[in-house]
Amino acid sequence: MTAAPTLHLTGVSKSYGPVRALQDVSLEVRPGEVLGLIGENGAGKSTLIGVVAGTVRPDAGVVRVHGRDAPLGDARAMSASGVSVVVQEQALVESLRVYENLYLGREVDLVGRAPGRGRRLRRLARTLLAELHLDEIDADAVVADLTYPQRQLVEIAKAFAIAGGSDAPPIILLDEPTSALTEHEAEILFDLIARWRDRVAFIYVSHILQDVLRLSTRLLVLRDGRVVDTLANDEVTDQQLHALMVGRARSTDYYREEEQSGAQDDTPVAELRSASSAADFTQVDLVVRPGEIVGLAGVVGSGKSSVAAAIAGALPLSDGEVVIAGRTRRRWSVSHAVRQGVLYVPPERARDSLFPNASVRSNITIGFLDLLARRSVRLLRIRDERARATELSRRLAVKASSLSVPVRELSGGNQQKTVFARWIGRGHCQVLVLDDPTRGIDVGTREEIYGLIRSLAADGIGVVLCTESLEEVIGLADRVVVMRDGRVSAEIDAPGSTKPTEIDIVEHMM
């Protein structure tokens, strides 16, 4: 006998002004299932997750949990029903300890009000972390002291803590849970899902289609707020899913074999000379030439992200030099870098790039307001600001109901386009430093960003590309610099005609 659905949505619709985020969406998930939810950025995935989590109230439709109508738009009630969410943008209280975050809001229900509550919560947390094989996470650690991947593991542990305390089969929504995890950490999560699948209904959202195909029992594809197809995961390929998601065949623009950007001039636009930064990296020499895409490869902790940040002025050097356009820069910070045309897209856009409550327009123009001020009185030319933001958003195809809406309401891909528009709007760019620019972005938008990167390189901009995807760094880069234990272990040419293999790179990473 087939188990009754743990979660059942019927005819769910949601609009934001003229934008129809969801249109008559229906789905169901049963215990023992992993429903893979896929679609491009802007397809409606985040809105659908918000409806299930109770943070978004739909305009129409019915949500049933364990056969009962659920209160729409009530996050506390949905959590009490056994729904927990791991979101792409972390929602931990960084000043609290790990065990306090795991059981935040449920302390009294779990251990009562008697003295020694903290000790009992610590014991629960240690037991949970051991069960989840998260041995590297200390239950007593302050969350702010953890790395970004470790914080993501705490988010995942928190969802399982809620699931473990539910009498009925719980529902766990995993929204891009591996976006910041190493391969080893992702394998821990995949093992958890396999071991808990018989007692949890999972909804798994990821832009990494291979992971979705590996984990899911069924697949639901969204496009433009509608369900395009629901299909069993039976010999489905990522190419088929891509076609369903975007309505077109996959592009290979990011991995061209014939046409490559190539350096246009031998004179470097940026250099690191014998550069070191505390415990992050040591004696690094790096050269970036006009029109060249230099890829940085290495495992998490190899120093590649720190090297990218140092070029962009976000990480100070303890020794060595930063040289821009042939001049050694004694004072080097983000503000100095921006003035010299060295622009940076960091990996954590929600924390380090965006002003989430500010409008899309403000997030675009914040990068070049100094260029729009009247020199005599230093007042902003509002008309020019609006016109420039409108032109840039159109050029980069930023999907938003209005440039006046808060940028937090945009999908991850459109938020990233906003960051790119900010720096393109400055006009003067010698070097663009990109750290994981396609993290948490769907395949269609990734292709747009690949094309943008190639276009910028073709215009003579030197690009430093740091990414966790070896396929991406090999496909885009003209040259790959491999980092290991804070040092450069190899430099490998990657022309379009003779691309190195992943094995060629990995042997220098380990």
pLDDT tens over the chain, length 510 residues: 456 778 999 999 998 877 788 999 999 998 889 999 988 767 888 899 999 999 999 999 999 998 889 989 998 888 888 888 887 666 788 889 999 888 887 777 777 777 778 888 888 889 888 888 888 889 999 988 988 778 888 888 888 787 655 566 788 898 888 877 777 888 888 888 888 888 788 999 987 888 899 999 999 999 889 999 999 998 888 778 877 876 755 555 455 544 444 445 678 999 999 999 988 999 999 999 999 999 999 877 789 999 999 999 999 999 999 999 999 998 899 999 999 999 999 988 888 889 999 999 999 999 988 888 777 666 778 888 899 999 999 999 998 889 999 999 888 889 999 999 999 998 889 999 999 998 877 777 888 899 899 999 999 999 999 988 888 899 999 999 999 989 999 999 998 888 888 888 888 886
CA gap 334, 343 in Å, rounded: 8
Residue ranges per structural domain of the chain: 7-246, 251-341+429-510, 355-428
| pLDDT score for 239 | 76
The answer to whether 156 touches 193, Cβ cutoff 8 Å, is no
| CATH placement of domain 7-246 | 3.40.50.300
Confidence (pLDDT) at 255: 53
Which pTM value belongs to this model?
0.62
Position 163 scores a pLDDT of 65
User: CA 360 to CA 456: how far, in whole Å?
Assistant: 22
335-342: long-range contacts at Cβ-Cβ below 8 A with a sequence spacing of 24 or more?
Answer: 337/312, 337/313, 338/313, 338/367, 338/426, 340/430, 341/426, 341/428, 341/429, 341/430, 341/431, 342/270, 342/311, 342/312, 342/313, 342/430, 342/431, 342/433
Which of 331, 327, 300 is CA-nearest to residue 484?
300
**Do 251-341+429-510 and 7-246 have the same topology in CATH?**
yes
pLDDT reported for residue 168 = 67
> What CATH number belongs to 251-341+429-510?
3.40.50.300
Asked if 291 and 461 count as a contact pair (C-beta separation under 8 A), the reply is yes
pLDDT at 273: 95
What pLDDT does 135 receive? Answer: 81
CB-based contact 324:428 (threshold 8 Å): no
pLDDT of residue 261: 47
The C-alpha atoms of residue 296 and residue 508 are separated, in whole angstroms, by 12
Per-residue confidence (pLDDT) for residue 270, from 0 to 100: 95
Q: Which residues contact 313 (CB under 8 A, 6 or more apart)?
A: 322, 332, 333, 334, 335, 336, 337, 338, 342, 344
Rounded-to-integer distance, Cα 186 and Cα 9, Å: 29
The pLDDT of residue 150 is 82
Cα 306 to Cα 193: distance, rounded to the nearest angstrom? 32
